[in-house]
């Protein structure tokens, strides 16, 4: 097994860099994002690293932990408005962006430059695995499908053969799985999973199309399993991750991967994308263990 660390910076950072390169050098661009999670954080830190300001508009339900992280990352402003992401996003588009002619909207997952950035992960994995002819399976978590679409693009670029991909979601944030079942893109009425970073109500059209390819398998785990993935991974690898990432990690435990893909053999090379996430603390993980420990052990 090969563990590869990643983050949202590959995708969102690539999008921000694209806008900077495409605009006149003197134009004082200002980036705006409405994600209170890792996408917002990646927007702020990528923009700051490239020397540009970024503002994040988030709902009033945003955790103090993430507000503090956004500010610490150097956000020009963190605006709290609206009861939900949709309301925060509307405020961003209709007020903030309208008032700033140099404002640029940064979506969390639905942009070709985000997929292009995320796809570079597969180039590095292909390099690192060149002696053993690459992976047989890649496991990743799916929110709106930006990471997944990037992985598919990167695999197509690096391999002539179809490398299997296991697309993981949690129950209550399973927009891709339900869309595949329905045979059309569906929109969830709400997110009911603790895996907030997978909480897109609807996946992108591109992610939905890619997921219909025959070598992609979509699977859903319970919140309890995603949480268990977090504490087991912390014990085994000493890395602290969110349940959004735990949803992929948990396939390593108690024979879950074999159950999902019975054709897999012990010779197959499996890459699990450790998407990580910032919205987690030891206290929160302890709470998850308290709540879910008995359901999974
Ligand atoms: C954003 C994110 C994902 C995947 O998001 P997509 O919207 O599918 O690109 C997975 N895990 C974590 C921790 C994330 O922050």
Residue 253 Cα to ligand 1 middle (Å): 21
For 80-114, letters b (16+ CB in 10 Å) and e give: bbbeebeebbebbeeebbeeeeebbebbbbbbebb
Q: Which of 153, 169, 196, 275 to mutate to test the pocket of ligand 1 (most atoms within 8 A of CB)?
A: 275
pLDDT of residue 6: 52
The β-bridge relationship of strands 103-105 and 30-33 is parallel
For residues 210 and 140, is the Cβ–Cβ distance under 8 A? no
State if residue 115 touches ligand 1 by the CB under 6 angstroms criterion: no
State yes or no: pLDDT of 204 exceeds 90.
Answer: yes
State yes or no: pLDDT of 192 exceeds 70.
Answer: yes
Q: Which of 33, 45, 109 to mutate to test the pocket of ligand 1 (most atoms within 8 A of CB)?
A: 109
Instruction: Give tens-digit pLDDT for 210-247.
Output: 999 999 999 999 999 999 999 999 999 999 999 999 99
**In residues, how long is the chain?**
297
Instruction: Give tens-digit pLDDT for 119-153.
Output: 999 999 999 999 999 999 999 999 999 999 999 99
Cα separation, 119 vs 75, in Å, equals 27
- In angstroms, what is the C-alpha Rg of the chain? 19
Q: Is 39 helix (H, G, I), strand (E, B) or coil?
A: helix
The β-bridge relationship of strands 216-221 and 30-33 is unpaired
Cα separation, 102 vs 234, in Å, equals 43
Q: Where are the alpha helices (DSSP H) in 50-106?
A: 64-72, 85-91
Instruction: Give tens-digit pLDDT for 85-121.
Output: 888 999 999 999 999 999 999 999 999 999 999 999 9
State if residue 243 touches ligand 1 by the CB under 6 angstroms criterion: no
Residue 98 Cα to ligand 1 middle (Å): 28
Measured by CA distance, the residue closest to atom 13 of ligand 1 is 277
Residue 51 Cα to ligand 1 middle (Å): 25
Write the burial class of residue 293 (CB in 10 Å: 0-12 exposed, 13-18 middle, 19+ buried): middle
State yes or no: pLDDT of 52 exceeds 90.
Answer: yes
Write the burial class of residue 64 (CB in 10 Å: 0-12 exposed, 13-18 middle, 19+ buried): exposed
Residue labelled with tokens 């209170």: 36
Q: How far is CA 19 from CA 126, 134, 192, 239, in A?
A: 28, 33, 34, 33
State if residue 38 touches ligand 1 by the CB under 6 angstroms criterion: yes
State if residue 148 touches ligand 1 by the CB under 6 angstroms criterion: yes
Residue 143 Cα to ligand 1 middle (Å): 5
pTM: 0.95
Per-residue tokens: 104: 């640029």
State if residue 244 touches ligand 1 by the CB under 6 angstroms criterion: yes
pLDDT of residue 36: 82
Q: Which of 147, 176, 195 to mutate to test the pocket of ligand 1 (most atoms within 8 A of CB)?
A: 147
Residue 186 Cα to ligand 1 middle (Å): 19
Measured by CA distance, the residue closest to atom 2 of ligand 1 is 197
For residues 167 and 202, is the Cβ–Cβ distance under 8 A? no
pLDDT of residue 295: 85
Please give the number of the atom of ligand 1 that sits closest to the Cα of 207: 8
Question: Taking residues 263-271, what's their average pLDDT?
Answer: 96
Measured by CA distance, the residue closest to atom 9 of ligand 1 is 146
């Amino acid at each position: 097994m090969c563990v590869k660390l990643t983050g949202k910076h590959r995708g969102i950072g690539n999008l921000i860099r694209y806008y900077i390169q495409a605009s006149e050098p003197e134009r004082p661009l200002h980036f705006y994002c409405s994600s209170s999670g890792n996408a917002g954080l990646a927007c702020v830190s990528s923009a700051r690293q490239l020397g540009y300001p970024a503002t994040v508009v988030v709902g009033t339900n945003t955790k103090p932990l993430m507000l503090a992280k956004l500010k610490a990352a150097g956000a020009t402003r963190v605006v709290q408005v609206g009861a939900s992401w949709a309301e925060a996003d509307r405020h961003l588009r209709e007020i903030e962006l309208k008032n700033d002619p140099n404002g640029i909207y940064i979506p969390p997952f639905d942009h070709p430059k985000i997929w292009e950035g995320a796809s570079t992960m597969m180039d590095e994995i292909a390099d690192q695995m060149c002696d053993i002819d690459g992976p047989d399976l890649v496991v990743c978590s799916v929110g709106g499908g930006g990471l997944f679409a990037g992985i598919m693009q990167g695999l197509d670029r690096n391999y002539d053969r179809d490398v299997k991909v296991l697309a993981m979601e949690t129950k209550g944030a399973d927009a891709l799985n339900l869309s595949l079942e329905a045979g059309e893109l569906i929109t969830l009425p709400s997110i009911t999973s603790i895996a907030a970073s997978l909480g897109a109500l609807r996946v992108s059209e591109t992610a939905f199309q890619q997921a219909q390819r025959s070598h992609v398998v979509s699977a859903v785990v319970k919140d309890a399993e995603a949480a268990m993935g977090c504490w087991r991974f912390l014990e085994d690898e000493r890395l602290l991750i969110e349940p959004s990432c735990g949803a992929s990690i948990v396939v390593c435990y108690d024979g879950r991967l074999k159950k999902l893909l019975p054709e897999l053999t012990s010779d197959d090379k499996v890459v699990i994308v450790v998407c990580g996430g910032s919205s987690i603390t030891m206290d929160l993980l302890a709470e998850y263990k308290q709540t879910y420990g008995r359901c999974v052990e």
